[in-house]
Structure 1
Amino acid sequence: MLGVHFAITSEQERSLLAADGDGDTVAELLEEIEESWDDDALKVDTDKAWDAIHRCLTDGTLDPDGGVYPLSHAVLGGRHLHDDYYVVYVSAAEVRDVAGALRGADRIWLRRRFDAIDDPGYDGAHDGGDFEYTWDNFVDVQAFYDRAAAAERAVIFTAT
């Protein structure tokens, strides 16, 4: 699954929250967001690195409830809007908290967390190259959250 974060507009936020529980409508809204997106500064693609990033920021698993807020909300923590795939909503206030917490994570800290992943469900190579891939994407996520917080936007993370 490929992951993408979007810092959504307040109109998109209202529509998605109103559709919560209606998978078809959420899917349609997400498709509209993806197709019409034109602001690369308020979007970040993490390819498959989102998996390792979430594990590093939480308890080493893909459990959306794993770990401690606010780091747990950078990828899978938050309000899940779809049952069949990830569409995870984080409010603008939570985005500010996540951005602040991510600023405290440096390369050494992330490497320790990456090396500690001990979940047989992790599909990555779990080697130096995999860490570099994770780190590069993590830096992009840090910068994205800073921009989203500055823009006072809510965020949705999707993986399909």
Structure 2
Amino acid sequence: MLGVHFAVTAEQERFLLLANDESDIEVGDVLEDIEENWDDGGLSVSSDKAWDAIHRCLSDGSLDPDGGEYPLSHAVLGGRHLHEEYYVVHVTAAEVREVAEALHRVDRVWLRQRFGAMDDADYNGPHDEEDFEYTWENFVDMRKFYERAAKSRRAVIFTAT
């Protein structure tokens, strides 16, 4: 599954939350509209397949959305889940600011230690030095994205399909 974060406008956020709460509007339809009409301006970032390792490093080593400690746990899978079949995870604008601040304190050494501590049996990636470099590069891009989203006072939606 490929992961993408979007810093959504207040209107896009409202439609996604309404779709989550109303049965006659589908979250997938709203998300598809967002993706098809996205005018980036630096307010989205793809983490390709690295989102898996990034979440594990920032949480408790698992893909459990409730694993780990807030706010780092909310960078990828933590937050309000809006879809049952695939990941559509909502983080409020207030939470985005806290996540951005927490990500700013994560350095390469810390992330490398967390990456090394992941359970090989539960992680499907190669779990080697090249995989760490891939994870680190995507983490840095995601951290910059969260900084831009926080400055723009936007909520974030993470998707993996």
Q: Given the two structures, how large is their TM-score scaled by the length of structure 2? A: 0.97
The CA distance in 2 between the partners of 1:107 and 1:87, in whole Å, is 28
SS at match of 1:72: helix
Flag the 1:8–1:47 CA change in 2: closer, same or farther, 3 A: same
Report what 1:100 is aligned to.
101
The CA distance in 1 between the partners of 2:97 and 2:40, in whole Å, is 20
Report what 2:38 is aligned to.
37
Report what 2:5 is aligned to.
5
The CA distance in 2 between the partners of 1:149 and 1:119, in whole Å, is 34
The CA distance in 2 between the partners of 1:133 and 1:76, in whole Å, is 19
Flag the 1:2–1:24 CA change in 2: closer, same or farther, 3 A: farther
Written as runs of structure 1 = structure 2, the 5 A alignment for 1:10-21 is 10-21=10-21
The CA distance in 2 between the partners of 1:18 and 1:31, in whole Å, is 15
Shift of 1:65: 0.2
Q: Is the 8 A contact 1:23 1:81 kept in 2?
A: no
Structure 2 unaligned segments of length 5 or more: list them: none
The CA distance in 2 between the partners of 1:63 and 1:24, in whole Å, is 27
Report what 2:159 is aligned to.
158
SS at match of 1:120: coil
Q: Which amino acid aligns with 1:103?
A: H
After superposition, the C-alpha distances for 1:46-97 in whole angstroms (9 at most, x for unaligned) are: 0000000000000000000000000000000000000000000000000000
Flag the 1:23–1:123 CA change in 2: closer, same or farther, 3 A: farther
Q: Which one has a larger percent helix, Structure 1 or Structure 2?
A: 1
SS at match of 1:102: helix
Query: CA RMSD, aligned part only?
Result: 1.2
Q: Is the 8 A contact 2:120 2:127 kept in 1?
A: no
Shift of 1:119: 5.0
The CA distance in 2 between the partners of 1:31 and 1:126, in whole Å, is 32
Structure 1 unaligned segments of length 5 or more: list them: none
Report what 2:91 is aligned to.
90
The CA distance in 2 between the partners of 1:115 and 1:54, in whole Å, is 14
The CA distance in 2 between the partners of 1:10 and 1:99, in whole Å, is 18
Aligned length: 160
